[in-house]
């Protein structure tokens, strides 16, 4: 199977040989038969038509019309008519021209030029031009050259130079060197040419250029497929990375929320130096404990007691409620409670069994207070049970008493809390 350029070389050679033979016939006719035009000489005219017929029907080399049987049969009929003078040669020339255009379209449609385009859109546009039977062949050829033009082969001059070099090549090795130099240009770009070493070895090994081109196209499609697969895998990898990052971010947020909650709880616990349970001495949960409301009220309102009375559970609270009797059974309701003294220098018992008030001892007697140079401004408000003034009570105790009910109401108004 001849390469395309070999067909072109054969075409040029056979065309030139035919033209030379026709000129010789015309010259011989003019010299031998003294005719002004060869059409006036039946003998020479037959010889001229037969030579033109042999150009197409008895061609020894493969050319564009080889194998186009119906066309050649039609040409045979047309040459017979031309020999008898019935048909003008211009009609035959036009028919040959039309058939050659059809061959050209068929040829380029089967050359795989779509693979030479730079994008799918260019390939689609190229196919539309190939399918346009109304487009003149010259215009189509120009469009195709523009679609597949390579900077390495800028114009037809490069192809003409290539053909001229092939004409002068005397050996197969010389032709192969021309192929390699034209297609891969190792002298112009050695580094790039090294990438095509496999194809150059195929040419040196005797493979046809068509098989080399097929290998290049196959490798190109394979590379494109691999690139597409690589891009798909890369996209999947990026998607997995995003999903992993989102998952890790979610875990980090949850972990931070747990840490924040624990930190807040620890901070909340650290704000309160809670004593142990008043009953079982168990450490208290800062988020879950009970307190004696009246103890808290007396401590907050009047500074009485030794701190809050707290419980770890309802059980301890109930046990203490039943067992303890603090400050005249302080867990009785405010309505039942007797008055409690708020006089600053006195520590009062509730009542003796008969109901009268005890004389109570101050923690520091008045003489001791004076000795310690502590200001004493309440002597006029006291009455004494002994001359040493170690036992005494307020002259008008009612001024220094408040009922638990009033104390509870005052506390609730001040704090907005509810004591039940």
Q: Which of 88, 111, 134 corresponds to the end of one domain?
A: 111
Instruction: State residue 37's pLDDT score.
Output: 87
Are 290 and 345 in the same domain?
A: no
Q: Which of 317, 338, 319 is nearest to 327 (CA)?
A: 338
In a domain, 16, yes or no: yes
Q: State the Cα–Cα distance between residues 365 and 372, nearest whole angstrom.
A: 11
In a domain, 134, yes or no: no
Q: Which domain holds residue 385?
A: 338-402
In the chain, how many domains are there? Answer: 3
Are 328 and 376 in the same domain?
A: no
Instruction: State residue 280's pLDDT score.
Output: 92
Instruction: State residue 116's pLDDT score.
Output: 64
In a domain, 222, yes or no: no
Instruction: State residue 58's pLDDT score.
Output: 92
Q: What is the pLDDT of residues 217-231, one digit of tens each?
A: 888 888 878 877 888
Are 280 and 352 in the same domain?
A: no
Q: What is the pLDDT of residues 251-269, one digit of tens each?
A: 888 888 888 887 776 666 5
Are 329 and 303 in the same domain?
A: yes
Are 311 and 346 in the same domain?
A: no
Q: Which of 80, 111, 142 corresponds to the end of one domain?
A: 111
Are 14 and 106 in the same domain?
A: yes
Residue 45 is encoded by which pair of tokens?
A: 């005219």
List phi, psi (to 5°) of 247. -65, -45
For the chain, residues with pLDDT lower than 50 are: 152, 326-363
Instruction: State residue 350's pLDDT score.
Output: 33
Angle between helices 137-148 and 89-109 (to 10 degrees): 30
Q: Which of 64, 30, 25, 68 is nearest to 48 (CA)?
A: 25
Q: State the Cα–Cα distance between residues 388 and 254, nearest whole angstrom.
A: 73
Are 308 and 348 in the same domain?
A: no
Residue 39: DSSP 8-state? G
Are 365 and 288 in the same domain?
A: no
In order of 233, 249, 256, the CA distances from 244 in angstroms are: 16, 8, 18
pTM: 0.47
In a domain, 371, yes or no: yes
In a domain, 263, yes or no: no
């Amino acid at each position: 199977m001849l390469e395309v350029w070999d067909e072109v070389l054969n075409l040029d050679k056979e065309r030139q040989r035919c033209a030379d033979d026709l000129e010789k016939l015309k010259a011989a006719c003019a010299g031998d038969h003294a005719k002004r035009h060869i059409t006036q000489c039946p003998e020479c005219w037959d010889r001229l038509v037969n030579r033109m017929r042999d150009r197409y029907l008895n061609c020894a080399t493969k050319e564009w019309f080889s194998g186009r049987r119906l066309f050649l049969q039609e040409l045979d009929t047309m040459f017979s008519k031309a020999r008898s003078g019935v048909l003008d040669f211009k009609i035959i020339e036009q028919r040959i021209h039309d058939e050659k255009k059809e061959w050209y379209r068929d040829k380029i449609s089967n050359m795989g030029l779509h693979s030479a385009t730079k994008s799918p859109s260019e390939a689609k546009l190229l196919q539309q031009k190939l399918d346009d039977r109304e487009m003149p062949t010259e215009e189509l050829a120009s469009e195709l050259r523009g679609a597949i033009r390579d900077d390495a082969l800028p114009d037809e001059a490069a192809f003409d130079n290539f053909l001229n070099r092939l004409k002068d090549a005397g050996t197969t090795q010389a032709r192969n060197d021309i192929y390699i130099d034209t297609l891969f240009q190792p002298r112009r770009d050695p580094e790039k040419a090294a990438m095509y070493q496999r194809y150059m070895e195929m040419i040196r090994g005797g493979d046809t250029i068509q098989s080399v081109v097929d290998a290049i196209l196959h490798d190109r499609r394979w590379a494109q497929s691999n690139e597409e697969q690589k891009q798909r895998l890369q996209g999947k990898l990026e998607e997995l990375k995003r999903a992993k990052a989102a998952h890790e971010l979610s875990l980090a947020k949850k972990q931070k929320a747990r840490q924040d909650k624990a930190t807040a709880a620890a901070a909340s616990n650290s704000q309160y130096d809670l004593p142990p349970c008043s009953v079982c001495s168990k450490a208290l949960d800062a988020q879950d404990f009970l307190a004696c409301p009246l103890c808290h009220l007396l401590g907050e309102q009047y500074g009485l007691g030794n701190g809050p009375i707290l419980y770890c559970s309802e059980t301890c609270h109930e046990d203490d409620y039943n067992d303890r009797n603090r400050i005249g059974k302080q867990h009785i309701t405010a309505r039942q409670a007797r008055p409690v003294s708020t006089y600053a220098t006195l520590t009062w018992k509730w009542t003796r069994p008969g109901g009268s008030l005890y004389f109570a001892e101050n923690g520091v007697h008045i003489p001791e207070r004076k000795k310690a140079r502590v200001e004493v401004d309440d002597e006029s408000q006291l009455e004494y049970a002994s001359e040493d003034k170690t036992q005494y009570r307020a002259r008008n105790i009612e001024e220094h008493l408040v009922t638990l009910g009033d104390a509870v109401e005052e506390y609730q108004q001040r704090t907005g809390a509810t004591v039940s």
